[in-house]
């Protein structure tokens, strides 16, 4: 099979196309013929050696997949050959999604939503599960709560806005000037240009903050009410934790995990037309290096490899 490999850490140019042996599904796994593979910021961090999740190269990047079931391992039920599936298998271990074929645990993938194609389905798992788990599982989001979502036009942020609205929240999103209208189009109740406005003075008491970028802890704590929740995707400094504790604010540092039930819930929202994935651009598998370079420009939404 064709796969994108890297033999050293570095910039996008370390990603090269190569022939590799096709994987075989073990017991409890399915072999997926990949139609599209989503790219996420963590991919670039691993590629560059900033987040050494996969150890030393060589390895194959990627976790987000959408495709069809090619073969079944022993003891797999609930799937048949030809089924359209999507998921984020094995994270943070190697899933090897930048390839024509990947073996995935059957309990970490789900039927692809019928309402979207493989490209959009491949863009959904990691970012969508991060939004879902952050808001619902870690944040305990309830109907009627006020939610602040940082970087609301980003891969996670634009999905989080829609998930929160679908669950009846009042949503405030921050974004840069060129992305404000996009965030409004997602249904956000308020949109704040973080380059100009001090949102701490504009949002009122917030019940839940989803902090998708680092460095906003002080601002986030200012807007949270006593008893509120700060869910952060990156490390929270001890000083911010101490302030939160003093004000009875719960701090949750989260990392997304494979989650079949969460995938099913996201699929329901997609098919109910309450959740749409925005794909900024697609690249063929052979141009993974260009795709990584484009993602570094921080486009609106997601970037996807077509296989």
Q: What is the DSSP string of 178-243?
A: GGHHHHHHTT-SEEEETTT--GGGTS--EEEEEE-STT-HHHHHHHEEEEEEEEESS---HHHHHH
Residue 195 pLDDT level (bands cut at 50, 70, 90): confident
What is the model's pTM?
Answer: 0.96
**Which tokens sit at 72?**
């079944």
| pLDDT one-digit tens code per residue, 37-86 | 999 999 999 999 999 999 999 999 999 999 999 999 999 999 999 999 99
pLDDT (0 to 100) of residue 199: 63
Burial class (CB within 10 angstroms; exposed 0-12, middle 13-18, buried 19+) of 13? exposed
Parse the chain into domains and list their residue ranges. Answer: 2-124+277-306, 127-253
pLDDT (0 to 100) of residue 200: 62
214-222, Cβ contacts within 8 angstroms, sequence gap of 24 or more = 216/150, 220/148, 220/150, 221/247, 221/249
pLDDT (0 to 100) of residue 288: 98
| pLDDT one-digit tens code per residue, 129-170 | 999 999 999 999 999 999 999 999 999 999 999 999 999 999
Report the CATH architecture of 2-124+277-306.
Answer: Alpha-Beta Complex (3.90)
The residues pairing with 105 across neighbouring beta strands, listed in sequence order, are: 29
| pLDDT one-digit tens code per residue, 10-45 | 999 999 999 999 999 999 999 999 999 999 999 999
Q: Are 115 and 271 a contacting pair, CB within 8 Å?
A: yes
Distance CA 113, CA 259 (A): 15
pLDDT more than 70, % of the chain: 97
| pLDDT one-digit tens code per residue, 103-140 | 999 999 999 999 999 999 999 999 999 999 999 999 99
CA atoms lying within 13 Å on the CB side of residue 301: 20
What is the CATH code for 127-253?
Answer: 3.40.50.720
| pLDDT one-digit tens code per residue, 214-267 | 777 778 898 999 999 999 999 999 999 999 999 999 999 999 999 999 999 999
Residue 213 pLDDT level (bands cut at 50, 70, 90): confident
**Which tokens sit at 228?**
């509120």
pLDDT (0 to 100) of residue 306: 98
**Which tokens sit at 193?**
């240009």
pLDDT (0 to 100) of residue 196: 81
DSSP-assigned letter for residue 253: E
pLDDT (0 to 100) of residue 202: 63
Distance CA 300, CA 289 (A): 19
- CA–chain centroid gap for 197, Å, is 27
- CA–chain centroid gap for 109, Å, is 15
């Amino acid at each position: 099979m064709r796969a994108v490999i890297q033999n050293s850490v570095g910039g996008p140019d370390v990603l090269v196309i190569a022939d590799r042996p096709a994987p075989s599904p073990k017991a409890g796994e399915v072999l997926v013929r990949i139609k599209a593979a989503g790219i996420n910021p963590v991919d670039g961090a691993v590629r560059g050696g900033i987040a050494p999740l996969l150890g030393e190269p060589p390895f194959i990047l990627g976790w987000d997949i959408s495709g069809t079931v090619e073969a079944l391992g022993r003891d797999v039920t609930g799937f048949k050959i030809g089924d359209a599936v999507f998921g984020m298998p094995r994270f943070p271990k190697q899933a090897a999604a930048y390839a024509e074929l990947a073996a995935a645990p059957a309990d970490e993938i789900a039927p692809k939503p019928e309402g979207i194609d493989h490209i959009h389905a491949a863009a959904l798992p990691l970012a969508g599960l991060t939004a879902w788990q952050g808001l619902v599982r870690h944040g305990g989001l309830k109907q009627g709560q006020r939610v602040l979502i940082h970087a609301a036009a980003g891969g996670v942020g634009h999905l989080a806005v829609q998930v929160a609205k679908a669950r009846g929240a009042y949503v405030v999103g921050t974004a840069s000037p060129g992305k404000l209208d996009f965030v409004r189009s997602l249904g956000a109740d308020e949109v704040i240009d973080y380059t100009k406005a001090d949102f701490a003075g504009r949002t009122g008491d917030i019940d839940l903050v989803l902090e998708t970028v680092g460095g906003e802890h002080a601002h986030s704590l200012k807007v949270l009410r006593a008893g509120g929740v700060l869910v952060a995707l990156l490390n929270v400094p001890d000083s911010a934790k101490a302030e939160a504790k003093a004000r009875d604010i719960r701090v949750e540092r989260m990392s997304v995990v494979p989650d079949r039930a969460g995938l099913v819930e996201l699929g329901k929202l997609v098919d109910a037309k309450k959740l749409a994935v925005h794909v900024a651009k697609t690249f063929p598998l052979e141009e993974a290096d260009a795709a990584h370079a484009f993602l570094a420009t921080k486009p609106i939404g997601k970037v996807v490899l077509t296989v």
